[in-house]
Chains A and B, each alone.
Chain A
Amino acid sequence: MVKGRIKTSIILAIWFVLTAIWNIVSVFTDIHHVSSFSYMALALFWTLSLGREITEPFIKRCLQTGGVMLFLLFLLRFLRYLDMNVPVIDRMLWYAYYVPFLLLPMLSFEASIHIGGADQAVPAVHRGISDFLCRKDLHRNRRVGLVLISLSVVFGLLCLSNDLHHLLMTIRYTDTEYTISYHLFYYIIFVWSAVLPIAAFIILIRRCRITSYKKYMALPIVVGSIGFLLWGWYYVRGGSSPRIMGLSLYNIQEVFLLLFIGVWESCILIGLIPTRSLISGRDWIRKTVLSTIREEYISAREYYDGLFQKEEDDFREALIRIACIGAYVKRRTNLELIADSRGLLSSTELSLAIRETFDYHQIAGLSTGYEESGKAEVPALLIIYAYELFEKILRQARSACYVMVSAGQTADEVHFRMIVEADAEDPEEGEGTENAFLDKVIREMGAPESIGARITVREEDETETVELSAAYPLRGAWFTRFEKHEKYAEHGLAGIAGFLSLEGEALKVKTWIHDSLGRCLLMAKRYILCPGEVERDALYKAWDRSFGEIIRLEEGAEPDAALLPESLRHQGQALREGTPVPSLDQAGLMEVYPECYEQAESMGVRLLVTGRIPLDPRYLEIIETAISVHVTNVSDHTTGDEAYIHVTEDADQYVFVFENNGESRSLEVRETGGLRNLRRRTEAAGGSMVIESKPRFRMTLRLKR
């Protein structure tokens, strides 16, 4: 439950009930229309309360627009019963009535399909309708939204122009009254206003079930069920107000209000919709990274406490230990960040994670070796499971650890295999059979069978290797393995997957943790490998701003205004208010990002920059990633050998255009690995990324100033 929202919800509930009661008893008074004004005020209050609360922009827009539509609905109700005696106006008010009836269901549906982040996408585990109900897919949502909005506009115009065609209704006036006969278009709207809210409701319930909020889902179910019952009762009575002892109980407008505000407020209250009340400081950290890496965080704390007061030798040893843990945290966070909306990850992401992890362990003195063969897109859960398994084995290694990974796709299936070997301590006599390690893994991570994989422990030649393998048929069977995602929680896999439905702010926190830890790790590596290049002071500042901040948040402090993602926007604000942002030309870029130039040179690509690259602290990592991805793409996927970066800016944004001097080798650009990672980071920072492949490859990044 979102504690910060409880008061608002109670106010709304009491307000609604009192107004509904007044609506019933007002027949005994001469005071009419009070309920309409009350409902209008309620809608307005609710709409305004969403302004600072909802953090996901699209959902906020949908709900606020819905609030305005409800305000309009009751305003029209009030105006309709004023009896203006001007037939044209009367008719137009009737027709206008249907605009909220059209838009409210559409807005509810649009908001519902935007519930959930990519990290909730256990993806590619469903098919067809089931996939649509359970999984947020931004590309699909855009297409659906376009269709629904177009239809809403067309239907709305048809309603308002009914006098020209009478497809909606015909109103016949007599001396004392009028009669209405409904035509085809009325029934189309009826179906529309029934199907979309029901579909939205079902989607909300399904998405509730696969999150950590399922224990509270009774609330929106009850509210929604009451709403739909009242709606059904109304239409069973032929579209007129139900009565008890002659008293009119409610009208259809109240039902719409209950179904919209009631259900959505319930969803906000239980935390299904990300809000500022839900996410704050300690909650951010607890719910994002620490929920999945608790053990590692505690280990890292032990090394970090007093780190910078140690003597040099002890300091270097502790530093590399914490860097090894930090590398795991960073890579683990990254794997969750970059899982795509289908919940797939390329096996090369596992390779990158293992290689970087090994980098730091090699510095710590471990003998390591890694080889991979082939690549394939496999479920993100499998990749994360594999990485976790690798880490568990690595931690047992005394002096050596070796890994081989293979992945590929045939016409019928996708296969994956990871073999890990480490010179671990021999198990004590009487404990630890060949299944002891397996038992521990299953206890902590869940059974691999739940994700369609298996673990085999092989004892050969006096060593023991652990093998994780999986094969998924391309059609049919592999999807059914993941149908009941909520089962993962039962098997403990939710712990290792760490999938949360939080998005927006939580995503930014994860991105910040990943990026800031990345900087710390690089500095730590340079400190150890290149003595004298990095000052201990600078190292301390970097680690304090990253890991130190995580500790302070975990201990209950409020977020530092200078550090966390939300406040990075404030930092941006400060930059806009007159503080010039330093920038780099080509020569400067070579000094600050030498790795990019080294990479380009090794790939036979010349990197050329026009314009100046801004040193906006919010975007340094994004820019570095974009350059790296661009160089790699030019080398691997085009015939060019020159990578161009054009940088321009206007009052609102920086614009980076990436091009090259060659032709694309393939007709279509597939966003995998680096491009996908770049898109996630860019969009998490509030920017946009557009890729064109014809006639030539061009990537455009826009980042807000």
Chain B
Amino acid sequence: MSRLLGVIGAGTMGAGIAQVSALAGFQVVLCDAAPAAAERALQQIRSNLDAAAAKGRLTPEAVSAASGRIHATTSLQECVAAEAVIEAVFEDLDLKRSIFAELDALTAPSTLLATNASSLSVTAIAEGLRHPGRLVGLHFFNPVPRMALVEVVQGRASSSASVQQATALAKELGKTPVRAKDTPGFIVNRVARPYYLEALRLLSDGGSTVEQIDQVMREGGGFPMGPFQLMDLIGIDVNLAVSESVYRAFHEAPRFEPHPIQREMAATGRLGRKTGRGFYEYQ
């Protein structure tokens, strides 16, 4: 019998997780409360897979087999037989907790529950569940099909068996898992903060330009993209939200303080590539 995964939330991350799961051979229930959202995501997945086939990365057979393994729905009930359910909805604690409360009641206690939350505590999400031991964090990176890393996050109540199961699942999805304690930003979002914050401070110190700082980091340090290019790509508002979240969660430790330049740009709609203008201009 084929193995079944549930994916909750058909946004960018949920769709990406569903795509890699289907490619890895799993049957996938892709569930989104908004009518037709999961269907639209499935169309997007199909066209992503077609594009990969056109580049010779997948055979047409693999594409149709993978698309055929994803079932779009609005009903959480369809996850009842899943061996694992991965939640990737909007970054809202109450919303995630209500979804997991439903899944907790709906699924067998042996079903692994995983949250893709990036700025919320896995421990907090698990609070109040009858079977909190089976809830872990499985933090994927955008874009999911391309980024190999998954942070497996152990909440205070997470059982080590669940952590091991999640780690094995990540490998079966073709990812490289690392294990992180449930702390703000886990590993990547925390350790990466200075890449942006120090660049912003250097800029406001004066004497070096956006281009110069990016050039030194790329051609001096070997980073594929400089900090300002990267903020423009990620979205200045998105990057700021992560910084604000980590800053608050570390009780406003001064080194995490977001920078006024970034706050001002986000407030005035200079968000980067998606608005045609950030630290650079985009045609």
Task: Answer yes or no: are A and B bound together in one complex.
Answer: no
Q: Which residues of A contact B (CB under 8 A)?
A: none
Q: Which residues of B contact A (CB under 8 A)?
A: none
